[in-house]
Amino acid sequence: MTRPYVVAIDGPAASGKGTLAKRVAEAFEFAYLDTGSLYRAVGVATLRTGGDPAHPQDALHSALSFDLNLVNDPAIRSRAAGEAASQVAAHPGVRDALLAFQRDFSRVPPGGAPGAVLDGRDIGTVVCPNAHVKLFVTASSEARAHRRWLELRRQGEAVEEAQVLQDIRNRDARDAGRASAPMKIADDALLLDTTELSIEEAVSSAIALVANALRLQPK
Ligand code: DC
């Protein structure tokens, strides 16, 4: 049996990696896993049970009693959930608890799909270091803050754009500065800077990079 294709897409908060990963998965009929949603679910579960996401024991307890249904809850998309996710993600025990699920998804993509696309911070470096293709998606912090601010506004969350920029800078610093599986560019990753690109331009670039690397024709 041939090994399923694995596409790793990493990048900082609000870089657009989620949209690109979803569209790449559709283009090649691969399964898609947003690994940030797992950390967001653990963060929200910790808050809901009255725990502190910065506290390793509280966060680990939520990770070990993980409820997969939470990943579909719109509550995990809030600003507070993003912050809690970044805090729980800094604990090595939490990362270990979520690792097997992510690796299993890449090895045996659901629905018998011929491949899997995973997006996150450490997919190309830790979760799937043997991925067939790795993209690292970036954009300036200002461009990312503007996109995230528009998204939060659409969801009805009233917040200043300057505050969102500050959140993004804090989150980048925590995600890249933690000791356990920090966000970093894999040596063999292809870089995609979306600062000056429209969504459709970024999607076309990502699909072209993956098609070229896998020698596959997109749908
Ligand atoms: O991609 P996102 O913004 O939904 O991720 C939320 C947080 O989860 C992010 O700030 C750091 C953490 N995360 C991680 O540490 N590793 C991943 N593979 C994905 C997300």
Computed on alpha carbons and rounded to an integer, the radius of gyration of the chain in Å comes to 17
Q: Is the CB of 189 under 6 A from ligand 1?
A: no
Q: Answer yes or no: pTM beyond 0.85.
A: yes
Q: Would 219 be classed as within a structural domain?
A: no
Answer for the pair 4, 116: CB distance below 8 angstroms, yes or no.
Answer: yes
Say what the pLDDT of residue 129 is.
98
CB within 8 Å of 200: residues ≥ 6 apart: none
Distance CA 117, CA 213 (A): 14
Say what the pLDDT of residue 83 is.
93
> Can you tell me whether residue 59 is helix, strand or coil?
helix
Tell me the residue ranges of DSSP E strands in the chain.
5-10, 31-34, 115-120, 133-138, 190-193
pLDDT band at 135 (very low <50, low <70, confident <90, very high): very high
Distance (Å) from CA 35 to ligand 1 centroid = 7
pLDDT digits (tens, 9 = 90+) for 6-50: 999 999 999 999 999 999 999 999 999 999 999 999 999 999 999
Q: Whose CA is nearest to atom 4 of ligand 1?
A: 36
Atom in ligand 1 nearest the alpha carbon of residue 14? 3
Domain span at 125: 5-214
Q: Whose CA is nearest to atom 2 of ligand 1?
A: 36
Q: Would 37 be classed as within a structural domain?
A: yes
- What's the total number of domains in the chain? 1
Q: Would 94 be classed as within a structural domain?
A: yes
Kindly report the number of other CB atoms within 10 A of residue 199's CB atom: 13
Q: Would 137 be classed as within a structural domain?
A: yes
Q: Is the CB of 109 under 6 A from ligand 1?
A: no
Say what the pLDDT of residue 2 is.
81
* CATH classification at residue 22: 3.40.50.300
